[in-house]
Structure 1
Amino acid sequence: MSSSRIYGPLISAHSVGDHVPLLTEVFGMRVESGARLPADATAALFATECTTEVVVLRTPGVEAGAVLCRFESELPEAAETIRDGRTRLYRDAFRVIDFYARDFETSLAHARDAGFPMIGKEASYETGDGGFREAHHLGADHVVTAFLHGPADFFTDFAEVRDRVSSEPVSISLPLSDAGPTLAWYERVFGWGVVYEYDFVDASFSELVGVDAELRVRSRTVGPSRRQTYVNIVDYGHAAQGGSLLGCSVAPRRGLLGLVVLTDELDALHARAGDGAQVVTLDLAPFGVVRACVLIPPFSAPHLVVERG
């Protein structure tokens, strides 16, 4: 198995306070630390000249969570979001953070009572592994989160936390114009392969994402294993008719910016990526004083790679 795992999403925020209540009160994370990256570290990692507020959240009991960054930049891009309502199905940028809900109705009611109701219509669809339900929440900076529900024995292989209102982040969806180069990059750099595939057509999913045409959803999920957070590389088919966001996942733009990856072999990953990324030392609890770099895959979204202490 790969010594590198996906910790969770990297979110660029107008205000970290806009995201913390959702991630803690609905999805069960805890704030582990707050830190400030000086301008030189921000420039080395994200190629933008500013200081950065960083907040690390973690799902209790597992090595997964989310990292929020507020880039304190006056550049025009700092007021822009990577996605908006018009580009919800555009390709070549991360799209949705998925969480497993053991009891779907309870989880949706919990989110609503906390002030974070789901939006639009719920999807209910069938794959070869059974029936699934899905509902989305549109949050700050156009970050979309989802509750997924399906056969309990199926999610035994896909979620580490299965006895709470919400699991850890089980996947981050990624529609791509051409999956081949990114699949090859994940394999070469991290040693990750395809751990699961699915394919379905269902009108309720089209309604969920606000598309009139019937979508055929094909997915290849990529990561170190089924039981750890993975990237859901998805193809919505020609009916989606979306454009590309290639090059838009760049700091200080706001939204679902990239991924955070934990590793035991930073130097080896750095060498295999071969893109000249700068390695910096950070004091970043709960990870401690660590070395980190940002690696850039073919679809250009930053992957913040942190070496375990």
Structure 2
Amino acid sequence: MPTGLTVMRTPGVEAGVLLCRFETQGPETAPIRDEHTRIHRDAFRVVDFYAPDFDAAVQHAREAGFPMATSEASYQLAEGSFREAHHAGDDGVVVALLSGPADFFVDFAEVRDRVVSEPVSISLPLSDAAPTIGWYAEVFGWEVVYTYDFADTSFSELMQVEHELRVRSSTIGPSRQQTYVNIVDYGLAADQGGSLLGQAVAPRRGLLGLVVLTDDLDDVIGRAGGSAGPAETVELAPFGRCRMSVLVPPCATPHLVIERRGEL
């Protein structure tokens, strides 16, 4: 179990980040991703934020000490032109700034009047997407809310690969208006990217898993069956005394489900 949990919520919305601190040190605490595994499948890879003014957001990040570490990508989707830049942070965590048509992001970002939005998505490249997509539908009631498909040299350069990637994505979530999981296929052959299946295990560092909020933990555990761990009760600000359980879907990345209840 972690020795500390810190919730960082985006003001005005539920979306945010849960930081886990572990006191254990040693080989088992190495980052899930590093320069050798940055495009491997079967573990979360990038947290995406919408930047209404892309250039201003990139400059703001640079001045705050978090420069975009790779080249910028510019690519075309059916809805228009998009720009993307990445910051490669500590523990193998990559943050992406995204920008595009403002009317498009009305659906995908609640916060659109600040330097960046709340986290709009977290990318999950998978070797076999179908079992996890089915699990999300069965356990959380999530569906595919958006799909896209493109190939662009600038994106391949952003990802620091020599060959051009063909990006296909199914975005999974409760709706377009809430943070979603971006299940992505980079078009890599089997010998062009390995798998991190089963390696997103505490106390490994990095994008360990996903937090999901629910109003009925017992219902979620019941639908998850054998993929759900036991319910635990903890004190966690800002939720107060709450119940939670760790679920492990077919992609083997942990999902911490927290029940929205102030007291038991």
TM-score by length of 2: 0.96
Shift of residue 53, structure 1, vs aligned partner: 1.3
CA distance in 2, matches of 1:76, 1:120: 28
Aligned to 2:195: 244
Tell me the secondary structure at the aligned position of residue 292 of structure 1: strand
TM-score by length of 1: 0.82
Residue identity (%): 68
Aligned to 1:91: 41
Shift of residue 74, structure 1, vs aligned partner: 4.0
CA distance in 1, matches of 2:26, 2:152: 42
Aligned to 2:219: 268
Shift of residue 75, structure 1, vs aligned partner: 5.1
CA distance in 2, matches of 1:238, 1:62: 36
Aligned to 2:210: 259
Tell me the secondary structure at the aligned position of residue 103 of structure 2: helix
Aligned to 1:221: 171
- Equivalent residues in 2 for 1:226-237, closer than 5 Å: 226-237=176-187
Aligned to 2:74: 124
Shift of residue 58, structure 1, vs aligned partner: 0.6
Tell me the secondary structure at the aligned position of residue 209 of structure 2: strand
CA distance in 2, matches of 1:265, 1:298: 22
CA distance in 1, matches of 2:37, 2:153: 20
Tell me the secondary structure at the aligned position of residue 206 of structure 1: helix
Moved over 4 A (4+): none
- Equivalent residues in 2 for 1:277-296, closer than 5 Å: 277-296=229-248
Aligned to 1:5: none
Tell me the secondary structure at the aligned position of residue 36 of structure 2: helix
Aligned to 1:156: 106
Aligned length: 259
Shift of residue 70, structure 1, vs aligned partner: 1.1
- Which shifted more, 51-60 or 185-194? 51-60
- Equivalent residues in 2 for 1:133-144, closer than 5 Å: 133-144=83-94
Higher RCO, Cα 8 Å, sep 6+: 1
CA distance in 1, matches of 2:103, 2:177: 13
Query: Contact between 1:222 and 1:230, CA under 8 Å: does it hold in 2?
Result: yes
Query: Contact between 1:81 and 1:253, CA under 8 Å: does it hold in 2?
Result: yes
Q: Which amino acid aligns with 1:269?
A: V
2:22 aligned with 1:54: no
Gap runs ≥5 in structure 1:
1-41, 43-50
CA distance in 2, matches of 1:245, 1:158: 28
Q: Which amino acid aligns with 1:64?
A: A
Shift of residue 238, structure 1, vs aligned partner: 2.8
Query: Contact between 1:213 and 1:239, CA under 8 Å: does it hold in 2?
Result: no
Shift of residue 239, structure 1, vs aligned partner: 5.3
CA distance in 2, matches of 1:244, 1:105: 34
